[in-house]
Structure 1
Amino acid sequence: MQQNSTSLGLMHKEYWKMLWKSKMHERLKLLLWRIVCKSLSVWEILSKRFPIPNISCPVCGEEVETVEHIFIRCPITVQAWANSVWPLNMVVFKDMNIDQWIKIIINSTEMLKIQGKEAKEFTLFVAVLCDQIWKNRNQTVWGNQPIDSIKLSLQINKVFIQHKQAWQSILGEKENPPSWKPPPLGWIKCNFDAVVKLDKVVLVVVCRDSNGSIVAVESQEECPGEPLWAESKAALLAATLARREGFARVVLEGDAQSVIKAILKPSTTPHWSIKAIIEDIRTTLNSFVCWNASFVFRDSNVVAHSLAQ
């Protein structure tokens, strides 16, 4: 399975740039990303892989549980919106697919004519609402806890205020720069990471320009393997994506020091399991005008790591 910034449903890369550049918590951005990718474990998606006797919504039981139902049409979601600080009439959006709905969330200025600071707060609010809807859905499934719509609405508004206050606090601390550093002008930095799970390996690459804007994202699943092999495959995916996107000057950046060292110093002999992969990486990198590779600690590679998780 492969995904990149131009093939996630019907979402154009400009919408993804707007999302990743927003100031909300990374976890909320990732949730919206997962919603559009349809990577959440809703019954309709799981039923394509496993036999599930009942795939109706565990909250209301009125429809098949799809991402559109959970976040647009479910009565609990409709009531949460009705009791919110932005009381939208969700009936208007009931026939939309999830791509269209997320577009409205990300670009509310164009879609809903919400202006300035209020537009950013609206996007933050919807992300919080989706997060709480999904959290409460899981509590219903796994904890057998029925959802009280009034309590849910109060919880959504409470969490939104907390995020808003934290957001304002962070924006006020200008002396604290982000741990991730952008590449020089004209360069693209490709952060890569891999997560080894019991049944598979997940590889992720996030490419950003000198402004910190995300210009490409790709994920790929591989058969189970060792961590060193997985990190090497993630680095190869980064180089391959950069070449396919037509970048001229690239930096591969990851938190696997042994892999970065092997890429930079071909005279060193990497472990036999990744030797061929390292050779492929260097062959691919030699097709660029300029390239480099750099090691960073996990806190500077958090976006790629979070996506892989």
Structure 2
Amino acid sequence: MLLWRIGANVIPTRVNLQRKMQHIDPACTFCNNEVESSTHLFLECPFARALWAVAGWGIRFDTAALTSGEDLLKLIINPPDAPIPANEQWTVTLNMALIMDEIWNSRNRKLFKQEQADLIKAKHCVQARFQEISKVFTPTSPPIQRSCSTFWSPPPPDYIKINLDAALNSSKSALAVVARNHLGKVLFVWGKENQLCSPLQAEAMTLLWAVHLAIQNRWYSVMFEGDSKICFDTLNHPDQTPNWSIDTVICNIHSFSSCFSSCSFGLVRRNSNSVANVAARFALNCLQPFCFSEGILPPAIEAACKEDPLFVFHLGWRVFHSKLNIAEPHKRTPVNNLRTNTQKWEMMIEI
């Protein structure tokens, strides 16, 4: 109903009310700096812009091209592309509609109850309502529970296990994601540089990136593993308040998790996350983003895979040994000699 009223320009913003009653002040209820039109209230007002930033999944749109309530309605019905499957695009429309509804509710609470606009409360309200509504239309199977394991183990058939880690130095951070199937085959190893931030923020951003990559590859049964206790404890206990520095990232991960048929977030020890750890250190010394698959792994990452007790090469190590003429394990480049490996493998990087 709210969207229809916006599209038909019959929603009682102060601009619309002033057309009927001249004595009404048209200034925005939130900022009091601009007239309260539909486009200003829902898109341009500082409070609206802040809510879109923290709850809008990073979606960007050109506000200059939106000049009427009808334009707003078209934006919601045909939202910008998001990194999720086509059959899940309705969740973008749902989230955007809930953001606009929360802006309107916050405006009314301030106008009629003199309640100050609370951005954090508004964000949590949007995300809680999204989770509640999306569960009705997205049947999910119970997530697979995993305890903190000692060694890497393959996922069940038809599942993809994604390990992730981050690395930092004095000037930047790096993110790495490793995807393997139930046979232990490495499907992809991704890595990229990131801005300098705290280790906790880097781990959270890596986890969000891993979720995006799983959605882009249309993996619907996924197990995410990492060694960041704070991140994974927060994800597995929604009643806990996230650390303020990763609050938005964790909430976005919760929202995107509805795109999967089944997903779990498992805390593991460092030695069962060694491949992701080595890939993150490799990315820290790499000059550009990379995407490797089995058969073209850099020696450092390949060595880490070989050290996993349950790692299995798809066609057998001996086949790759004979075809690629890879050195014996005891002659291979040490895992921590990353800079030399980086130079050797830059020509094989796939952006």
Q: Same fold (TM over 0.5)?
A: no
TM-score range, shorter chain: 0.3 to 0.5
Which structure has the larger Rg? 2
Superposition TM-score, scaled by structure 1 size: 0.42
Superposition TM-score, scaled by structure 2 size: 0.37
